């Protein structure tokens, strides 16, 4: 069994075009900036592979969901030595979906980085290298840029002595070490220097640019990255967009938004760009919109939310209080995870994944649909044959504190039309539950750091453009 393809940020892989104006340095927020994210399966993408079948695309979305789950489980059992490194989400050029083409330095040098809402730091390979992995484009060379600056330990941005800092002080230099994981295997580490550099952003189709100074990682020691084995590898680093104060999102603005174009045939995913908007470029409708506050969880900068209950169609499942306790079996929103996952071991020992599945079985069985056979180790457990002209798909609602997030029935399931069946697009997870990108289709998601909350409303995302 298998699953499909996700969006960004986010959790993200695409070509990036920044538009708009007035940039400063980290503490001087952008008035507004937008990033055009071109999906990996677009013909415009540098990673476009025209011969992948729909099932192959679905399978790799499942693989990245599984890889991130295994990494979270690895973190939960790691020893103190492992914990000394900073751990980000898996990096795999075959599994991530959006890349950003960054223009950095003076004169400008080009690099491709994976965009990730789960990452705290933007970094790229940086020459001269102690050891760098293979990439087909030239490695960014700090020696050729007049605007590059390496941070010393006493620089105010090198907060190495503060709790939660990304940096350490070694021989008077502000340095970092990040380790990655995928499929339960360790990747990396990447090591380098905390640095400042000019980042350039296109502001019109004539190629005109604005620039501002960004804190980023100049990585000159990078080993054990699997994607580097690809002779056509274009990835040189990562763009971090989580809640950490050093992330690009925090440096640009405390507000950003995105809108995921539907994956189905009515809105071909591979022809619509996605736009990541910051600051004044974020659209707020002229009416109140659902809002739910972030929940702080020690040791993570992920976007945790307080979930109270779940409904399938009009049936509320009435989970007991404490089922989704953020500190133990919480829920966070992550566009970098393709499919929504539900915990099989909540703090109160409830198998949330199974209980939700039972609700879907009851719904579809009552409408006399024929079950499609699955195995215990399949990615999706609730699958049915597709009846002719059937449209009675139930919605799924996440009842967050202060706001109900309703997934339209059109987007609750994933269809395998060539095989004649569909499946409820939810995967099991032993620890936290995740609201993934597939359940964000046609939903405008706003991360509003100004009020410490996620806001959202339904929208026609295919119409989102510069």
> Which of these ranges, 83-92, 145-154, 362-371, 381-390, has the smallest mean pLDDT?
83-92
Residue 38: the pLDDT is: 56
Token reading at 276: 């990541």
How far is 269 from 258, CA to CA, in rounded Å? 15
Domain boundaries, the chain: 15-278, 287-463
Backbone angles phi, psi at 80, to 5 degrees: -65, -30
User: In the structure, what pLDDT confidence band is assigned to residue 266 with cuts at 50, 70 and 90?
Assistant: very low
Q: How many CA atoms lie within 13 A of 271 on its CB side?
A: 6
Most confident listed range (89-98, 276-285, 291-300, 451-460):
451-460
Q: 193: left (phi > 0), else alpha (psi -120 to 50), else beta?
A: beta
Residue 325: the pLDDT is: 92
User: In the structure, what pLDDT confidence band is assigned to residue 62 with cuts at 50, 70 and 90?
Assistant: low
How far is 281 from 412, CA to CA, in rounded Å? 30
Evaluate whether the domain defined by 287-463 bears CATH number 3.40.50.10470: no
Mean pLDDT score, 319-347: 89
% residues pLDDT > 70 (the chain): 71
% residues pLDDT > 90 (the chain): 44
User: In the structure, what pLDDT confidence band is assigned to residue 93 with cuts at 50, 70 and 90?
Assistant: very low
Token reading at 147: 């605007």
Considering only residues 45 and 462, tell me which one the structure prediction assigns the higher pLDDT: 462
> Which of these ranges, 100-109, 274-283, 308-317, 437-446, has the smallest mean pLDDT?
274-283
How far is 464 from 443, CA to CA, in rounded Å? 11
Question: Are 15-278 and 287-463 in the same CATH fold?
Answer: yes
Q: 439: left (phi > 0), else alpha (psi -120 to 50), else beta?
A: alpha
The highest-level CATH class for domain 15-278 is: mainly beta
Helix, strand, coil shares of the chain, percent, nearest 5, are 15, 35, 50
Q: State yes or no: cis peptide before 128, omega within 30 of 0.
A: yes
Strands 303-305 and 383-385 turn out to be unpaired
How distant, in Å, are the alpha carbons of 7, 227, 319, 367, 453 from that of 115? 10, 15, 35, 42, 21
pLDDT tens, 347-390? 899 999 999 999 999 999 999 999 999 998 888 999 999 999 99
CB–CB of 5/263 below 8 Å? Answer: yes
- DSSP symbols for 64-96: HHHHHHHHHHHHHT--HHHHTSEEE----TTT-
Is the full-model pTM beyond 0.85?
no
């Amino acid at each position: 069994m298998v699953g499909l393809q996700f969006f960004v940020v986010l959790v993200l892989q695409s070509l990036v075009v920044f538009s708009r104006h007035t940039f400063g340095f980290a503490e001087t927020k952008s008035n507004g900036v937008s990033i055009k994210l071109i999906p990996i399966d677009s013909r415009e993408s540098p990673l476009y592979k025209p011969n992948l079948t729909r099932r192959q695309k679905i399978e790799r979305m499942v693989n990245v969901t599984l890889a991130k789950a295994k990494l979270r489980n690895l973190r939960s059992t790691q020893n103190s030595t492992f914990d000394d490194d900073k751990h980000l989400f898996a990096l795999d050029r075959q599994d991530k979906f959006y890349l950003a083409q960054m223009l950095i330095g003076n004169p400008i040098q080009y690099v491709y980085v994976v965009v990730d809402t789960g990452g705290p730091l933007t970094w790229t390979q940086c020459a001269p290298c102690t050891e760098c992995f293979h990439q087909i484009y030239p490695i960014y060379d700090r020696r050729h840029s007049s605007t590059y600056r390496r941070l010393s330990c006493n620089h105010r941005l090198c907060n190495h002595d503060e709790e939660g800092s990304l940096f350490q002080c070694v021989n008077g230099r502000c340095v970092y070490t990040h380790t990655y994981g995928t499929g339960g295997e360790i990747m990396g580490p990447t090591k380098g220097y905390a640095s400042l550099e000019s980042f350039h952003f296109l502001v019109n189709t004539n190629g005109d640019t604005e620039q501002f100074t960004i804190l980023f990682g100049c990585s000159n020691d990078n080993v054990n990255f699997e994607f580097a084995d690809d002779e056509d590898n274009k990835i040189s680093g990562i763009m971090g967009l989580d809640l950490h104060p050093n992330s690009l999102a925090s440096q640009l603005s405390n507000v950003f938004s995105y809108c995921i174009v539907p994956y189905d045939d009515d809105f071909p995913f591979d022809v619509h760009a996605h736009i990541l908007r910051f600051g004044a470029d974020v659209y707020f409708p002229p009416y109140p919109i659902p809002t739910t506050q972030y929940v702080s969880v020690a040791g993570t900068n992920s976007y945790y939310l307080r979930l109270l209950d779940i409904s399938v169609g009009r049936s509320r499942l009435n989970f007991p209080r404490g089922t989704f306790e953020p500190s133990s079996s919480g829920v966070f929103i992550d566009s970098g995870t393709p499919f929504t996952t539900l915990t099989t071991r909540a703090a109160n020992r409830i198998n949330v994944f199974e209980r939700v599945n039972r609700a879907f079985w009851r719904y579809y069985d009552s409408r006399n649909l024929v079950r499609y056979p699955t195995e215990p180790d399949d990615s999706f457990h609730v699958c049915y044959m597709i009846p002719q002209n059937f449209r009675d798909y139930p919605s799924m609602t996440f009842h967050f504190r202060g706001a109900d997030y309703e997934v339209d029935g059109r987007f609750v399931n994933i269809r395998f039309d060539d095989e004649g069946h569909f499946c409820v697009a939810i995967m099991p997870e032993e620890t936290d539950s995740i609201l993934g990108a597939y359940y964000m289709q046609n939903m405008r998601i706003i991360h509003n750091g100004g009020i410490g909350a996620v806001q959202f409303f339904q929208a026609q995302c295919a119409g989102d453009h510069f």
